[in-house]
Amino acid sequence: MENKDLHKLLTEIHEEINLTQAVDDDEGTLLRDIEKDINELLKRSSARNPEGEAISLHSLEQAVSRFEVTHTTLTAQITKLLDILSGSGI
- Chain segment 28-70, per-residue pLDDT in tens: 888 888 888 877 777 776 665 445 445 667 888 888 898 888 8
Q: What's the CA gap between 71 and 77, in Å, rounded?
A: 10
Q: Report how far apart the first and last C-alpha atoms of the chain are (Å, whole number).
A: 13
Cβ-contact 6, 85 below 8 angstroms: no
Which residue did the predictor score with more confidence, 87 or 67? 67
What span, in angstroms and rounded, lies between the C-alpha atoms of 37 and 83?
15
CA 57 to chain centre: 8
**Would the pLDDT of 23 be above 50?**
yes
Cβ(80)–Cβ(12) below 8 Å: no
